[in-house]
Amino acid sequence: MANEDTLYKALQELKDGKRDIESVMALLANGYEDIGFAKVDTSRESRSGSPEVIFCEGKTDLQIKGIAQRMQANSSNILATRASKENYDAIRSVCPDARYNELARMVMIKNKDVEVPDPHIAIVTAGTSDLPVAEEAMETATMLGNRVEMYPDVGVAGLHRLLDNIDKIRCARVIIVVAGMEGALPSVVGGLVDKPVIAVPTSIGYGANFGGLSALLSMLNTCANGVAVVNIDNGFGAGCMASMINRLK
């Protein structure tokens, strides 16, 4: 189930003595590689359109490093999310080209090129405090092969800032809207554009915000059409979904 490139490279490594037969067998048979504490899903990209990603929370540095190493061996592009500085250092020890976006808490390693289609994705945020989540979405979408344009800080308390940019936002094929607090922005944007809107609630706020619940419920109950929601602070998920739509033929 592994894609052709991965297979070819693995066989090459076998021939070069850098891999053993069992690991290739496993790759052929299963579409994943078993490294004890993890089963790296080598067929996810061909199957579901986006590569397996390392979710760092709850994993030890040793585990993260092991998974990154195996992905690196398969020449995959690698994304690690919720990555601390320590996680980054662990990854860099096996993937020296790894890049770190501190705001987004992500590690990116580009091992192969992805074709980038014409249409682009717009990422809109209600406030400056929502930027970390927006950056996570941006890095994800970019890595998956999309052009991205950012429109930060156009929240509903100063509507003219949004209205002033709406014509440019409308040009995107799909729009990610990131907002915390009352989470009203996706409803307003959704009412002004005829493009699918991915709404991302953030945990920005306090008190009856309840860790992003207020924005989440607000977005789920939107009266605008063409809006769907991902998890609180899930910039990564929004980036994947937007990429999936933006790259549709």
Residues 52-111 that bind a copy of itself (CB under 8 A): 52-53, 55, 57-60, 63, 67, 82, 103
Tell me the window of 10-18, 83-91, 109-117, 148-156 that interacts with a copy of itself (CB under 8 A). Answer: 148-156
Residue list 188-207, contact with a copy of itself (CB under 8 A): 188, 190-196, 198, 201, 203-207
Are 138 and 147 in contact by the 8 Å Cβ rule? The answer is no
| Separation CA 25–CA 14 (nearest Å) | 11
Report the C-alpha gap between 124 and 131 in whole angstroms: 9
Report d(CA 218, CA 221) in Å as an integer: 5
Nearer residue to a copy of itself within complex by CB, 3 or 75: 3
Q: Which stretch binds a copy of itself (CB under 8 A): 11-19, 69-77, 84-92, 154-162?
A: 154-162
5: Cα within 13 Å, side-chain hemisphere: 14
Q: Which of residues 203-232 bind a copy of itself (CB under 8 A)?
A: 203-232
Q: Is 7 in the site for a copy of itself (CB under 8 A)?
A: no
Residues counted in the chain? 249
Of the ranges 17-25, 69-77, 92-100, 128-136, which one interacts with a copy of itself (CB under 8 A)? 128-136
Which is closer to a copy of itself, CB of 130 or CB of 139? 130
Among residues 164, 167, 168, 171, the one that binds a copy of itself under rule CB under 8 A: 164
Phi-psi region of 144 (alpha: psi -120 to 50; beta: other; left: phi over 0): alpha
Residue 181: C-alpha distances to residues 125, 129, 219, 228 (Å): 12, 11, 11, 18
Ranges within 30-49 binding a copy of itself (CB under 8 A): 30-32, 36-39, 41, 43-44, 47-49
Distance CA 61, CA 86 (A): 8
Q: Is 146 in the site for a copy of itself (CB under 8 A)?
A: no
